[in-house]
Amino acid sequence: MDNNDLEKNIQEEVVSEEETVEDANDSLSDETFTYTIDNNNVNNDYNKNTYDDNKSFIYIFIGLFILIFIIVLLIILANRNSNKISGYNDIESRMVSGAKKYYEKNNESLPIMDGGSVTISTDTLIENSFLKPFSEMVDEGVSCSGYVSVFKNNDNYAYFPYLNCGDEYESLRLSQKIVDSGIVTSGDGLYKLDDRYVFRGEYPNNYVKFNDKIWRIIGINNDGSIKMIYFDGKVERSVWDDRYNSSRDSYVGINDFRVSRLLEYLKKIYEDNTYISKNNKVLLVKHDWCIGKVSENDALISSLNICSDVYSDLYIGTVQVDDVLIPSIDSSCSNINDIECTNYNYFYTINTGWTLNSSSDKSYIAFSSNNGAISAKNTSVDNYVRPVININSNILYKSGLGTVDDPYVINY
């Protein structure tokens, strides 16, 4: 190969290498461009996701704001309703205060006989300036009327308001609240028996808070008064009677309630404020207590004639035999001696003790109750005496559902 050919080959190799480098650079340039495009796509996706996240956050914020607004609105409406009821309760209190002032100046108009009552209208209180006109106490357009009933209890007087403001408000008596809660014909609950109401079953909602203690409502009497038994804690003991019985030639007692130690004891716990405070005694009413005697053998509950003898001059008593037996809804409970009477009976949880009724077969026997069962015992035996009372039919309902956790509460 001559020199000219060698030089030509060298130049061709140099050109070939330069083209290779340019191709490599062009390829690198293409790859770099492609990478730059991919990076822009990633940035676009990131920005899009961030935008979507921001939109979601805005939606969540708006949703929370609406929820909070609804909750606040409901609270405001509930408070308005509560304040309105509190306002009417305040008017009821003003009615009582006005009635008391009226009778301070007109005490000759108060009832004289124990258990007697009088009623004074709100119109009379307003006319005599003992109560503001309703137009100054209620919203515009609301029309109200009412009265105050006054009952004499020994040397004290109990005042019960009744206010009617149409659809806006009406005073609610406890007895009416209980009836409005529902009457049943089977299972646990309030039954209508002739002209009265009785709680029956194992778990009826008949709890009430009275005198800062828990009682259980036995029923509603035909005059609207509420009969109930002390349920909160232990009770004291007493003999039914321990006098000398000539027929037995022994101090075994005589089962005549009118001259019994039991009657003495019941009057004593009333006078001593043992279960009812002095202030709350004015809420009690005297009622007929059925003290008739019952046969110890085959005495059908459906034909018990315990109200053939009635004692009325008493504020605190104890249970009658039928108070304990009627609550059982066991169909096999038909006789006072049937142990099935303890079934489906809330008295199963109450250790009652002495009843007001005694035996018509033996002069020294009276009936006792334990866990819903009735048994005959010697009157001279020391036994529990669980108080039973009747509270005024005009007592107002304040709150509660009658359950063990949310008992009825009176407004007085």
How far lies 100's CA from each of 105, 278, 396, in Å?
9, 19, 18
Residue 45 domain-assigned? no
**How far is 16 from 390, CA to CA, in rounded Å?**
123
* One-letter amino acid of 98: G
Q: What is the DSSP string of 79-126?
A: HHHHHHHHHHHHHHHHHHHHHHHHHHH-GGGS--STT-EEEEEHHHHH
* One-letter amino acid of 372: G
**Structure token digits, residue 238:** 């007493």
How far lies 354's CA from each of 1, 161, 323, 351, in Å?
146, 37, 12, 10
In 245-284, which ranges are E strands?
none
- Looking at the fold, whether 279 and 149 belong to one and the same domain comes out as no
Residue 16 domain-assigned? no
Identify the domain boundary among 140, 172, 204. Answer: 172
Identify the domain boundary among 150, 172, 194. Answer: 172
Q: Calculate ∠ Cα 209-228-357, nearest 5°.
A: 155
* One-letter amino acid of 70: I
pLDDT reported for residue 342: 97
Residue 328 domain-assigned? yes
Identify the domain boundary among 172, 207, 242. Answer: 172
- Looking at the fold, whether 296 and 372 belong to one and the same domain comes out as yes
**How far is 196 from 219, CA to CA, in rounded Å?**
7
- Looking at the fold, whether 242 and 348 belong to one and the same domain comes out as yes
- Looking at the fold, whether 346 and 278 belong to one and the same domain comes out as yes
**How far is 182 from 67, CA to CA, in rounded Å?**
36
**Structure token digits, residue 367:** 């009936």
Number of domains in the chain: 2
- Looking at the fold, whether 275 and 208 belong to one and the same domain comes out as yes
- Looking at the fold, whether 147 and 228 belong to one and the same domain comes out as no
pLDDT reported for residue 52: 59
Residue 1 domain-assigned? no
pLDDT reported for residue 95: 97
Check the CA dihedral 385-235-390-185 and report its sign.
negative
How many other CB atoms are there within 10 angstroms of residue 104's CB atom? 10
249-266: b (≥16 Cβ within 10 Å) or e: eeebbbbebeebbbbebb
Q: Are 206 and 353 in contact (CB under 8 A)?
A: no
pLDDT reported for residue 50: 56
CA 400 to chain centroid = 3
Q: Are 393 and 224 in contact (CB under 8 A)?
A: yes
**Structure token digits, residue 295:** 């046969």
Average pLDDT of adjacent 10-residue blocks, the chain of 412 residues: 48 47 46 45 52 66 76 58 67 97 96 94 97 94 96 93 96 97 97 96 98 97 96 94 96 98 98 94 95 91 93 96 97 95 96 96 96 95 97 96 97 86
Q: Are 218 and 227 in contact (CB under 8 A)?
A: yes
- Looking at the fold, whether 220 and 127 belong to one and the same domain comes out as no
The alpha-carbon radius of gyration of the chain (Å, integer) is 42
Q: Residue 13 burial by CB count (10 A; 0-12/13-18/19+): exposed, middle or buried?
A: exposed
**Structure token digits, residue 12:** 């061709």
Residue 249 is part of which domain span?
Answer: 176-411
**How far is 50 from 35, CA to CA, in rounded Å?**
23
- Looking at the fold, whether 199 and 149 belong to one and the same domain comes out as no
- Looking at the fold, whether 182 and 121 belong to one and the same domain comes out as no
- Looking at the fold, whether 245 and 346 belong to one and the same domain comes out as yes
**How far is 295 from 273, CA to CA, in rounded Å?**
35
- Looking at the fold, whether 231 and 132 belong to one and the same domain comes out as no
How many other CB atoms are there within 10 angstroms of residue 368's CB atom? 23
- Closest of 178, 182, 181 to residue 216, by C-alpha: 178
Residue 19 domain-assigned? no
pLDDT reported for residue 297: 87
**How far is 191 from 200, CA to CA, in rounded Å?**
7
